[in-house]
Amino acid sequence: MTEKIKALRLKKPFGLDNIQVTEMEDPGQPGPGEIRVKVKASSLNFHDYGVAAGFIPTEDGRIPMSDGAGVVEAVGDGVEEFEVGDNVVSTFFPFWQSGPAPVGDFRNTPGDGIDGYAREVVVRPTQFFTHQPKNYSHAESATLTTAGLTAWRALVVDGGIKPGNSVLVLGSGGVSVFACQLAKSLGATVFATSSSNDKLKQYKELGADHLINYKEDPEWGKTVRKLTGGRGVDHVIEVGGPGTLPQSINAVAIAGHIALIGVLTGSEGQVPTAKLMAKQARLQGLIVGSRDNQKDFVRALDANGIKPVIDKTFALEDLADAFRYEESGKHFGKICVEF
């Protein structure tokens, strides 16, 4: 009789009340070029929430969660990169190894186009994982696949950040908080916005230099410009989308860089194109990054010692409650589930 493992599945008509705890066949031993990983933790992203809540269409029975961290239990023939006992973390785009992005959809993204990491064990080809940073817990590592790597790509890979640059982060989700930490480690000045003064205090503790409550100051783009002596910031971590982009364009320096990451305020809207043109700023869309980007990022974390901010951790079977907590917007940084 084959062993069973625990897994969570999204059932039609979807929504958080339709996340089911189920059992599935154990995937068995890895074949050539594959590894077997005991999954220990995942972290929640807005994308995972969209899939689970039914806003982003997926197949009935899909196993959710793009982020997975755990331990290698077995390696298949020909595997040299990993050995039994290695701590590993999943890649968001398993088939994007290096170079410019070859993908513009989520067909091969775990937890969306293919089954994800809300299960006890997976067997996958090696490109589905990289090593974890040293001295990271599994929960900490699980924050890197999506949020951490997005912040790294925005600032380092696409942004080419330099010491003395200035960075504006919007809100207090995983990408923005990670971007604040990375920017400070790289010698940048950080401007942070939130609608919560308590969260702004948390940003101050992380080293943010200028704090702006966007509810109290809806023209925060102009405020950022004033605080920089009229110059504006070199980099904007733009997670809001159409509702915040006009202010981000106000805030960015001439020839600056806006990393367009999120759609928290919707998927389309007005863009002040003349102002963007006059600023000669680069508005670059991005979705996470490549496996090589992730390996570089892990090396950087080993060197700089940054640890992600985890707001709260839930048990795997309480994933629906974890998503409800995410929905409430009370969190600062990342929400994780542990197995």
* Mean pLDDT score of the chain: 96
Q: What is the pLDDT of residues 199-233, one digit of tens each?
A: 999 999 999 999 999 999 999 999 999 999 999 99
Q: What is the pLDDT of residues 82-110, one digit of tens each?
A: 999 999 999 999 999 999 999 999 999 99
| End-to-end Cα distance, the chain | 24
pTM above 0.75, yes or no: yes
Q: What is the pLDDT of residues 154-207, one digit of tens each?
A: 999 999 999 999 999 999 999 999 999 999 999 999 999 999 999 999 999 999
- The pLDDT assigned to 265 comes to 73
Spell out the residues 6+ positions from residue 72 whose beta carbon is closer than 8 angstroms to its own.
35, 36, 37, 82, 83, 84, 85, 86, 87, 88
Among 191, 189, 192, which residue's Cα sits nearest to residue 164? Answer: 189
Given a cut of 70, is residue 19 above it in pLDDT? yes
Let me know: does 115 contact 129? Beta carbons within 8 Å: no
Measure Cα distances from 273 to 76, 185, 226, 270, 311 in Å. 53, 33, 22, 9, 37
Mean pLDDT over 47-69 rounds to 96
All structural domains of the chain, each given as residue ranges with its CATH number in brackets, are 4-145+289-338 (3.90.180.10), 149-285 (3.40.50.720)
